[in-house]
Amino acid sequence: MPNFAREGDGGRDIEALFEENRILREAIQHSPIHFGVYAPEGRLIVFNDAFREAFPKTFATRADDADAGRLTYREVMREPVEAMLPPEEVEAELDRRDAANRSLSGHTAYMTRNEAKGHMRIQRFRMPSGAVGAMAVEMNEVVAQSDALQAARAAAEAHERRLREAMDGLPFALGRYSPECRVVMLHRLFREASGLPEDELRPGRPYEDLVRALVRTSFYMADGDVEATVRQRVAQLFASSGRYESHLTDGRVVAADDTRTESGDIVSGRVDISELKRTLARV
């Protein structure tokens, strides 16, 4: 590591300045964050132990050059680039990275994968002196958590898809609503019979909005007072009080059964009993 002491500081005690610079050097040298600085022309002039560990092959053979400030950005980047790309693509990628380092203005950040350290987030920035600073933080734990979350989400989506397929195969209509009476899932028969576009049947929609739309399309009877009908049906669903009959505007009679699950969701079943009612009426 180079000496950070400054020449002259308004008469301050030189020993205090050296002590401040010693502490600064130690903080950089022993930081778990990979830290390096390249001179404007691309030479590596400052680096810490974590930076050295990220390029083991390079520092195993070029340690003296690195300590003497003779190692360039291109030479440092050769190790990770050769690990990532086929030989015929290495030089072009090094040209690209070297040009990007020389033309860097301001600050840039990106994710990459290092052969020795795994997933890393790199931040590079141009200093007022023209030098380029590079800092890197290992992101393996974050990436592992993200991968696990994505896998869990994919498994949940697959489970939800299988559940929907199984539910759609039933000969009667089912609806599933959240504890707050929002749509979670609607059976194929219900979606088809409602006459509503899929956007109005989407998960997350409040049940009261769904009822309002079904009254608008005359699927549900309203007896002149739409909002009273909406309130009645929402209260009925929320109460989940069991079985009852529902009369549709086309004359059909539907047996309904609303049940609350242990999780708080409401499962609402609907079976067309119109033919049964007519048969019973003739008896």
pLDDT in tens, 9-43: 444 567 777 677 778 778 888 888 999 999 999 99
Confidence tier at 283 by pLDDT (50, 70, 90)? low
Is the pLDDT reported for residue 8 higher than 60?
Answer: no
Check pLDDT > 80 for residue 219. no
Q: Does residue 120 contact residue 138 with C-beta atoms inside 8 Å?
A: yes
DSSP element (H, E) containing 231: helix 226-239
Which whole number is the average pLDDT over 142-168? 88
The pLDDT of residue 238 is 85
Q: How many CB atoms lie within 10 A of CB 71?
A: 24
Radius of gyration for the alpha carbons in the chain, expressed in angstroms and rounded: 34
- In what helix (H) or strand (E) does residue 91 lie, and over which residues does it extend? helix 87-103
Mean pLDDT for all residues in the chain: 85
Rounded to whole angstroms, the Cα distance separating 50 from 195 reads 64
Selection from 177, 234, 172 nearest residue 203 by Cα: 177
Q: Could you tell me how many residues make up the chain?
A: 283
Q: pTM for this one? A: 0.54
